[in-house]
């Protein structure tokens, strides 16, 4: 039915799609896009050593997927070689979500679609972009050398004696 990762067995495919489509409530095209992004998110979870945080939309898809218990377990085994536990939190840490977005960009070489990743709050995407800019600007100002130290004093490594290193 859908040409992307196989989440459930053939006989459950249509039911799974209908359930996700109903929960998201934004039409078939949106649901297809959300399922593609869910597959990408799960690949990050499966391959990264650190914790990943889904968007609210992807978390909704994940919750629906888990209700197909046997199919979910088989999917996890196929993509990760292990069961992937879902450890929900009321408010995921912004830093973890930020790292997830950076992992997405590094792995898939593109920005995640804002309508799936930042659905809950349209300003989240702007805030993320602003934070990224501030981080990159701060790093550029420090001009860190690959082996440590800075361009202001070649012997320090984040010391507090020079203005370049202490201007966090």
- Sorted by where each begins, the domain ranges of the chain are 10-120
What does the pLDDT profile of the chain (168 residues) look like in tens digits?
333 466 766 667 888 899 999 999 999 999 999 999 999 999 999 999 899 999 989 999 999 999 999 999 999 998 899 999 998 776 667 788 889 999 999 999 988 998 899 755 566 667 766 766 776 676 666 655 555 555 545 554 555 545 444 444
Query: Strand, coil or helix: what is 7?
Result: coil
* CA–CA gap between residue 102 and residue 32 (Å, rounded): 23
In eight-state DSSP terms, residue 91 is S
**Which residue in the block uniquely carries the two structure tokens 């370049």?**
164
| Alpha helix stretches (DSSP H) within the chain | 13-24, 28-47, 56-66, 69-80, 94-108, 114-117, 122-142, 163-166
* CA–CA gap between residue 30 and residue 43 (Å, rounded): 20
Given this model, what pLDDT does residue 90 score?
63
Given this model, what pLDDT does residue 3 score?
38
pTM for this predicted structure: 0.68
Distances (CA, A) of 54 to 75, 113, 116, 118, 131: 17, 13, 10, 10, 19
* CA–CA gap between residue 142 and residue 137 (Å, rounded): 9
* CA–CA gap between residue 79 and residue 75 (Å, rounded): 6
* CA–CA gap between residue 60 and residue 53 (Å, rounded): 12
Given this model, what pLDDT does residue 12 score?
77
Given this model, what pLDDT does residue 82 score?
93
């Amino acid at each position: 039915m859908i040409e992307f990762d196989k989440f459930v067995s053939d006989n459950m495919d249509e039911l799974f799609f209908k359930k996700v489509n109903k929960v998201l409530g934004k039409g078939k095209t949106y649901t297809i896009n959300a399922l593609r992004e869910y597959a990408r998110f799960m690949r990050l979870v499966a391959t990264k050593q650190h914790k990943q945080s889904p968007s609210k939309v992807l978390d909704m898809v994940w919750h629906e997927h888990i209700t197909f218990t046997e199919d979910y377990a088989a999917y996890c085994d196929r993509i990760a070689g292990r069961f992937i536990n879902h450890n929900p939190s009321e408010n995921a840490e912004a830093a973890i979500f930020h790292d997830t977005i950076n992992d997405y960009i590094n792995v898939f070489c593109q920005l995640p679609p804002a309508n799936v990743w930042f659905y809950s709050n349209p300003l989240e995407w702007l805030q993320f972009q602003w934070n990224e800019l501030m981080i990159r600007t701060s790093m550029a100002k420090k001009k860190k050398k690959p082996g440590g130290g800075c361009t202001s004093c070649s012997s320090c490594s984040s010391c507090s004696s020079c203005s370049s290193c202490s201007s966090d």
